[in-house]
Chains A and B, each alone.
Chain A
Amino acid sequence: MVAFFIILLFIVVFIIRAQLKNQMDVLGKKLSNTEEELRIASDRISVLEDENPLNDVKEKEESYSGEQISSSPTKIIEQPSYNIPKSPSVTNVKEINTKLELKTSNKPIENIIDKVELRPTFFQKYEKKIAENWTGIVGIILMVLGVGFLGVYTALKVSEFFRFVMIVACSAGMIGGFFFLRKKEKWIKLALWMRSAGGAVFLFACLGAGGIPGLHWISNPIIGLTVLIIGVAVNLLLAVIGGKQIFASLHVLLALIALAIAPQNSTMFLIASLVSIFGIGLTFREKWDKHLLLTISSFFVYHIYWFIKMGGRDAFTRIENVTGIIIVSIVCSIAALVHYRKLYSTKEFDNIPFLVHLINWLYFGLGILMHVVGSKWKTVPLFIGAAVAFALASYAKKLKIRWLHCTDTLIAQIITIIAFMSLANWGIGYDMIVMFVFLESLIYTAVISFVKEDILFRAGITFVHLFGIGLLISFIFTGDLFNSTTCVRQSIFAGICSISVFSFCWFISRLEKGTWILYDTLLSGWTMKTIEFSITGLLSGIFLLAISVFSHETLAIHYALIGATAILIIVRPKLNINGISAATVLLIIAVHLINWVLLYYNNNSVTKEILTRGLPLFILSISAIKWDYFHLKKTHIKWFGIYLAIINFIIISYLVFKPFSPLIPGVAWLLTSVFLLEFAKLLSEKYKGATINIGEPEKYLLHGGYLLLGLFIFRHILVHLQSEEYLGFIKIRFTIEILAIAIFLYWAFTKKIKSEVSSKSWVYLHPLFAELTILFTILTISIEVQKYWHPISWLILAFGGLFLARKFPKKLSRMSVYSILLYWISIFQVTFQLGGYEKLGNYWFHKDWAIGSLAIILQFTFLYIFHKIAPLKEVIFDIPLNAMNRFTEILRKYEDFIMFYPLIICVALFLYWTFSESMLTLLWVLECFGIFVISIALKQQHFRYSALTGIILCIIRLVFFDLSRSTTLVKALVFLGVGILMLGMHALYNRFQDRLFEEKRDEVL
């Protein structure tokens, strides 16, 4: 019942709001019309002033006196006095006609202004009302009180009967006054009030005679009641003959007050009901809505008063309660019937009768509520009541009373909802009741759509939305995922609702070209700004989703759901209801998520179960790819299906392969990425030159490939790196790494996809595959190759980089920069790390000096090749790495320094840390000799200076260190060696002297 009143209140507020809005619009229009009229009038005045010959003369005088020549008067007349819209609508045409009439009638503007000013103000309006009516009412009340006081005053002087007679005499006097004054035209109003006052005083006397202390002279209650009834009857008679709402209301009110003062019992309630019915009956004469409101409100208040006085619901017997319900029903029904007359026939929305009617229904509901005893049988009268209300609504429609039709239809719907809710007393679950209400609301709204009454349709849609959400909430609160019975039951409910909602959506989308579906939006279009989004469409998907939640473990339902979702995907583009599209998307995601979670957390899942559950999900993603047109966006959306299929593949492959070996999923993803790449290329070829957008499938397939590769790397770091097992004599991890490098290379060397749409990922992401390959190779070498061999490995990689830069100068010129980095790392490791490693190699070449020497030879070879081919000249870093161009510029500028000196210094250090001190001078001189040779080859003076400085330092060491510490043999060997090398240097110096100074000459030139 509370819900009933809340809903009722909402409807009232909404309707009043709508009406006020309408009124505001009308007032606004009127105001704008008035403003327009004023504007036209002023234009007219100005035109008339222009047409005035006196003005012409004046103007001419002015123009003659001034230097400027004025424009011709004809030109002024030709100008229109108002603007006519270029393509006038019907309203505009009316406005124009009005304006034309105004123009032709020459109505003086003062009249219009006067009209506006003569409208009564708020204060004036209510002052008039108070003066005309309420002065009379208050006057009568005061008079009755005065007579009462008189009775009290005479209490000790005369007996009760005489006091009664005295008051009756007063009453008679007043009525006599009426008869005296009624003939005088000026006093007729006073006469009428005096008559009413007489009736009121008489009623007071009658009431006092039966029960008021001081006036009480009748001891027999039946006689007392009879006297009171006489008093009431007299007043009712006066109400009839009064001829005005005010007198009718006054006497009915007085009669009910008198009855309330008297001792309360069932008879008194019956009399009060009869008085009210009589009062209501008076409204059948004319359109007395205010009187009707006062009468039903008085009866309602009296009913509450009587109810409390009698001791509340518990004090009544069952029959008394039923009688109470019947009496309330009769009074309110009669009051309701007042409006079903031709008198109320209007197309407009009549506010006062509408409110009175609605309040009557409110009193009706509350009155019944007071006597409700909790019987489950109340469902039957409620349904009957709903049917009656619906019949009354139809009758109101016949009578062409629009507001009444709307009100009663809504009331019928509300009573139906209450009737359904009362089914709880019959032991029916709340979820089922809400489902019934929801389905009924759907049917109601569908039926209402034929009536074409937008308020009712919107209200119906609101009910559908509210109870649809309510049903979902009831599923949440009453659902139990561990109780199979509840799950089956709620799955059935959700299934029924889903089919119903879907049918409803389909039905209203076809009605009047989908006009009504516009109200199926958030807040049902009650707000000014509506979002074109079908809530019921969304509900259809959510109900299917509910089935998925409740019956996710049953494979048959899983298949059925996939089938239903697939159908939804297929019909969705034809229906063109965005809510259904959203629901479909939601449903597809949810079905996938539920099944993924189910498979992931079910540790006992076997391959068969994973496949039987997971593979059918591809039907949905493939369907989403095929039927991908979205009307709202006016485009094909392929990414959704493609991404979903790829993610599903990732999860299914992970779950299927992981039990065999956790290393397989990563390899499977790696391989699949190649397939996606090839597929993307194939599609790109197929749709080459396509003029329409077909959803860019190749782009999203490529994204899928990137995702798979990303996941592989992620899994490689987290899972593969820890694997130490062998497949035969090769480490499994190593085989995977080699495969990954091969696949990265394959991606890196793939020619650009021809389609235009994929250019972004191709520009920003794809070039990085070369870097990815290098990084992954470095990672693989770091893990798989013994540390001894790292410096040599980096150099081999650097050679590879140089080769690629040379072979693919346009695409991979940057590899030479990475080669330099690798070369530096190699130098660093030879110098600082190689000597630090534990020396436990099984072979002689595992010794640091052997590997270091080999590495240095390779480093010099690299240096030589690098210098020869000079790859830095051609290096260009493209968009994703163009910040590296600055770094390349620095490398280019100081190429000799950064390439040669690190190696020279590090070789010196390597020699120092690796070889015997006694041999160091010889080895360093050998290095200086090498630097000298370089200076000749490169024609670089600074190398020669460095070599000579080194030689000087070596000679100093030879003299001060080797002479004093070394043995004779070593001394001999060192001195011999140094001597030969220096002689060699001398010979070279003389042989290539010209070449050595060539650089200087070049500089001078």
Chain B
Amino acid sequence: MKYFRFTFLIIIIFAGITIITGLIIKRSNTPLNSTLAPFFQLVGEPIKAVDVATARVLPIDENDEKIYGEKLASYYDQRANKSDSVYLYINNLLNVISSYSNKPFKYKAYIMSWSIPNACAMPGGIILVTEGLLKTLSTEGELLSVLAHEMGHIECGHCFTSCKYEILSNKIDLEGIGEIADFFNALFFRHSFSKTQEAEADAYAYKIILKSSYTPSSVAGSFKELLKYSQNRGEHSSSEQDADLFRDYFMSHPPLALRIAKYEAESNLWWKRNTNVLKYVGRKNIKMKKTLKELEIKEEWVTSSLY
């Protein structure tokens, strides 16, 4: 036992010194000086699990969500200009990734005339994208990763769990009560696992991108564009470099710097493992509002993360 202990000690010390040496050589840095966001993201897991379990035990399922989504879609259909090139472009792009869906929904995307770059998902396969987002993102891959992120919210059941009581009350003809219940559920619990859900949606988007023809760097690229936008508006300050208990807890999304670092590291690793594989960027496609299927540009195919 004594010798085992001594050997173990030597191994520990050797391993520790190796790690330190490796870190010195690599000069590995962190996106932020300090942050509590990843920790809160982790703490949110069990609360999210309870929320999911609650949704599962309720007598509602994907079919009820589908009905709910169809109602929403009819509302947006009335207001959408379906002949608009942007509308068509977005929906064509959505069709590329909706084939990976495991839900019985018809995915639809609608354009909102807001200048702020944003997108959101609704139950039953509804995705809203602002005009600002289309202006902010610079490649088709980035736009696709945002759409995939929103699709991830639907596929992972985030939208379903967020309005589970409303779907249930609609089902049993007690409209209104469910909305109140969902509101209080969101008020008291959602902030605790909101970041967890966003991270899940990011992971989903990355998987979709890997399955698609687009470069895996698109996910980090879309976050970079959003960060650039908020920096230009002066919304990011140096104080965000350090941890803040309340800010880090109540922020709905993980900090952009962390999301960029994560998917940059993942895509770099992917590129390391998949040398000479061609992936599409789609810089001109987004400008011309033509999907890869409609317009393939040779120069847009790349073999590295540098595009």
Contact string, A651-691, partner B, CB cutoff 8 A, digits 1/0? Answer: 00000010011111001101100100010000000000000
Q: Is the CB of A732 within 8 A of B28?
A: yes
Q: Determine which of B26, B27, B39, B266 lies in contact with A721 in the assembled complex, contact meaning CB atoms within 8 Å.
A: B39
Q: Is the CB of A667 within 8 A of B23?
A: yes
**B247 interface contact, C-beta 8 A:** no
A-B CB contact pairs (8 Å), 12 listed: A661-B27, A662-B30, A664-B24, A671-B17, A721-B39, A722-B35, A727-B23, A735-B22, A779-B42, A783-B42, A836-B56, A838-B155
**Known contacts A662-B30, A832-B56; is A727 also within 8 Å of B265 by CB?**
no
A913-B59 Cα distance, complex, nearest whole Å: 12
Which positions in B face A, CB cutoff 8 Å? 5, 8-9, 11-13, 15-17, 19-20, 22-24, 26-39, 42, 45, 49, 52-53, 56, 100, 102, 152, 155-157, 200, 204, 207-208, 211, 243, 258, 261-262, 264-266, 269
Name which residue of chain B comes closest to A786, CB basis: B203
Contact string, A386-412, partner B, CB cutoff 8 A, digits 1/0? Answer: 000000000000000000000000000
Q: Is the CB of B26 within 8 A of A840?
A: no
Q: Is the CB of A832 within 8 A of B49?
A: yes
A724: chain B residues at CB < 8 Å are: 258, 261-262, 264-266
Which positions in A face B, CB cutoff 8 Å? 657, 660-664, 667-668, 670-671, 674, 678, 717-727, 729, 732, 735-736, 738-739, 742-743, 746, 749, 779, 782-783, 828-829, 831-833, 835-840, 913
Q: Determine which of A660, A746, A840 lies in contact with B207 in the assembled complex, contact meaning CB atoms within 8 Å.
A: A840
Q: Determine which of B37, B208, B264 lies in contact with A722 in the assembled complex, contact meaning CB atoms within 8 Å.
A: B37
A718-B102 Cα distance, complex, nearest whole Å: 37
A670: chain B residues at CB < 8 Å are: 16
A513-B33 Cα distance, complex, nearest whole Å: 58
Name which residue of chain B comes closest to A841, CB basis: B207
Q: Is the CB of B156 within 8 A of A836?
A: yes
Q: Is the CB of A836 within 8 A of B52?
A: yes
Name which residue of chain B comes closest to A731, CB basis: B265
A662: chain B residues at CB < 8 Å are: 29-30, 33
B243: chain A residues at CB < 8 Å are: 718
A724-B268 Cα distance, complex, nearest whole Å: 11
A835: chain B residues at CB < 8 Å are: 56
Q: Is the CB of A739 within 8 A of B12?
A: yes
**Known contacts A722-B38, A724-B261, A828-B53; is A661 also within 8 Å of B26 by CB?**
yes
Q: Determine which of B19, B34, B45 lies in contact with A739 in the assembled complex, contact meaning CB atoms within 8 Å.
A: B19
B258: chain A residues at CB < 8 Å are: 722, 724
Beyond A723-B261, A742-B11, A836-B56, 14 additional pairs, beta carbon < 8 A: A662-B33, A674-B9, A717-B39, A722-B261, A727-B23, A735-B19, A742-B8, A749-B5, A782-B42, A831-B53, A835-B56, A836-B157, A838-B200, A840-B207
A804-B206 Cα distance, complex, nearest whole Å: 39
A829: chain B residues at CB < 8 Å are: 49
B208: chain A residues at CB < 8 Å are: 840
B12: chain A residues at CB < 8 Å are: 671, 674, 739, 742-743, 746
B33: chain A residues at CB < 8 Å are: 662, 719
A735: chain B residues at CB < 8 Å are: 15, 19, 22
Min distance, Cβ B121 to any Cβ of chain A, angstroms = 13
Main secondary structure of the interface of B (DSSP, over half): helix
A836: chain B residues at CB < 8 Å are: 52, 56, 156-157
Nearest 8 A-B pairs (CB), nearest first? A832-B53, A721-B38, A718-B34, A671-B16, A661-B23, A724-B265, A724-B262, A840-B207
A76-B31 Cα distance, complex, nearest whole Å: 100
B11: chain A residues at CB < 8 Å are: 742
A136-B52 Cα distance, complex, nearest whole Å: 111
Q: Is the CB of B24 within 8 A of A661?
A: yes
Name which residue of chain A comes closest to B34, CB basis: A718
B155: chain A residues at CB < 8 Å are: 838
**Known contacts A722-B35, A828-B53; is A663 also within 8 Å of B28 by CB?**
yes
Q: Is the CB of A828 within 8 A of B49?
A: yes
A832-B51 Cα distance, complex, nearest whole Å: 10
Name which residue of chain A comes closest to B273, CB basis: A729
A663: chain B residues at CB < 8 Å are: 23, 28, 30
B53: chain A residues at CB < 8 Å are: 828, 831-833
**Known contacts A723-B28, A743-B12, A840-B207; is A718 also within 8 Å of B35 by CB?**
yes
A678: chain B residues at CB < 8 Å are: 9
Q: Is the CB of A739 within 8 A of B100?
A: no
A103-B24 Cα distance, complex, nearest whole Å: 97
A725-B24 Cα distance, complex, nearest whole Å: 14
A664: chain B residues at CB < 8 Å are: 20, 23-24
A900-B45 Cα distance, complex, nearest whole Å: 26
A913: chain B residues at CB < 8 Å are: 56
A726-B262 Cα distance, complex, nearest whole Å: 10
Q: Is the CB of A746 within 8 A of B8?
A: yes
Min distance, Cβ B98 to any Cβ of chain A, angstroms = 13
Chain B CB within 10 A, most for which of A662, A664, A667, A838: A838
A729: chain B residues at CB < 8 Å are: 269
